[in-house]
Amino acid sequence: MAEPQTQSSTVYAPAYSPGREAWSMFIRNRSAIVGLVLLTAVLIITLVCPFFYAVDPFDIVWGPFSPPGDGPEIPLGSDFVGRDVLAGIIHGGHATLAVGASAALLTITIGIAIGSAAGFYGGVVDELLMRVTEFFQVLPALLFAMVLVSLFSQSLTTIAIAIGVVSWPSVARLTRGEFLRLKELEYVKAARAIGSGNGRIMLRVILPNALPPLIVSATLTIGVAILFEAGLSFLGLGDPNVMSWGLMIGANRDFIIDAWWAVTFPGFAIFITVLSVSLIGDGLTDALNPKLRER
């Protein structure tokens, strides 16, 4: 007589999603956490503090060249015309961060559109788009942005567009490389075999798998865009009607000896912001790299 079969008592280990594994690795990266804390502090200062420190950054509230602590109304001092430096840092962060985020979004959009088309279609399309990419890549980025802002208007929108137009080639080349690698994999061939069109394969099959390095690139692009905006404002090409950290540095650069605080504090704000974004980008690089997650 045959013995009754017993149920298997095999215990399966719980499956973890790649996203959860990436987040777990990210939070174990101390540098990335420091960057996240710093960026959170910058966002709180620029988005929340204006409701509690409602001083117009263009108002003359004290005597010029007043050092930090000279009066309770100016804890970080005043600039060459008597404007509150702290108010400029708090309210100027809006414009700086907005330009950085907008320019980064435009950079990623243009870069992904051109790089994905070049890498997916190849041939003549690849040759043509890569020649255009190389043309923009050899142009001096800051000089080209200065020309664009000078030809049009010195508004924040024009500055963001100018930064995006000159910054996309590196993203395009990265996207092209990812598409060239991924389009030869089996799951892409399977999608093509079941009749999926080119647009669906590019947007629904290849692009999601190419996103990890592009996310890292987008993060780092924000820092580059912030530096670009500061550079343009420092050279007098920022929007004079909107306070930004770059505008504060540019307006007070001739008085750095007499009022070092008017240049140092906004410069330190830019440094902290770019540093935090860079640390987060490094953390994402490690977290989104499957080879490092397997260690």
DSSP conformation class of 71: B
Predicted local distance difference test score (pLDDT) of residue 18: 63
User: Tokens 């650069």 label which residue?
Assistant: 253
The whole-angstrom separation of Cα 204 and Cα 283 is 26
DSSP character string of 143-181 = HHHHHHHHHS--SHHHHHHHHHHHH-HHHHHHHHHHHHH
Predicted local distance difference test score (pLDDT) of residue 118: 92
Does residue 6 sit in helix, strand or coil? coil
- Sign for the CA dihedral angle at 219, 224, 225, 230 comes to positive
Nearest to 202 by CA among 131, 118, 285: 118
Q: Report pTM.
A: 0.82
Predicted local distance difference test score (pLDDT) of residue 291: 55
* Cβ density class 248-260: b for 16+ within 10 Å, e for less: bbbbbeebeeebe
The whole-angstrom separation of Cα 177 and Cα 111 is 12
The whole-angstrom separation of Cα 161 and Cα 155 is 10
Predicted local distance difference test score (pLDDT) of residue 141: 85
- Upper half-sphere CA count for residue 67 (Cβ side, 13 Å): 3
Predicted local distance difference test score (pLDDT) of residue 290: 56
Nearest to 106 by CA among 225, 230, 243: 225
Predicted local distance difference test score (pLDDT) of residue 270: 92
User: Tokens 């101390």 label which residue?
Assistant: 30
* Cβ density class 93-115: b for 16+ within 10 Å, e for less: bbbbbbbbbbbbbbbbebbbebb
The whole-angstrom separation of Cα 68 and Cα 188 is 61
- Sign for the CA dihedral angle at 202, 203, 205, 206 comes to positive
Tens place of pLDDT per residue across the chain (295 aa): 444 444 444 444 444 566 677 778 878 888 889 999 999 999 999 988 888 888 889 988 888 888 898 877 889 988 888 899 999 999 988 888 888 889 989 999 999 999 999 999 988 999 999 999 999 888 888 888 888 888 888 888 899 999 999 989 999 999 999 998 888 888 888 888 888 888 888 888 888 888 888 888 888 888 888 888 888 888 888 888 888 898 898 888 888 888 899 999 999 999 999 999 989 888 888 777 655 554 4
The whole-angstrom separation of Cα 218 and Cα 205 is 20
Predicted local distance difference test score (pLDDT) of residue 16: 54
DSSP conformation class of 15: P
Q: What are the chain's domains? A: 29-51+78-293 (1.10.3720.10)
Does residue 193 sit in helix, strand or coil? helix
Question: How many other CB atoms are there within 10 angstroms of residue 23's CB atom?
Answer: 12
Predicted local distance difference test score (pLDDT) of residue 85: 92
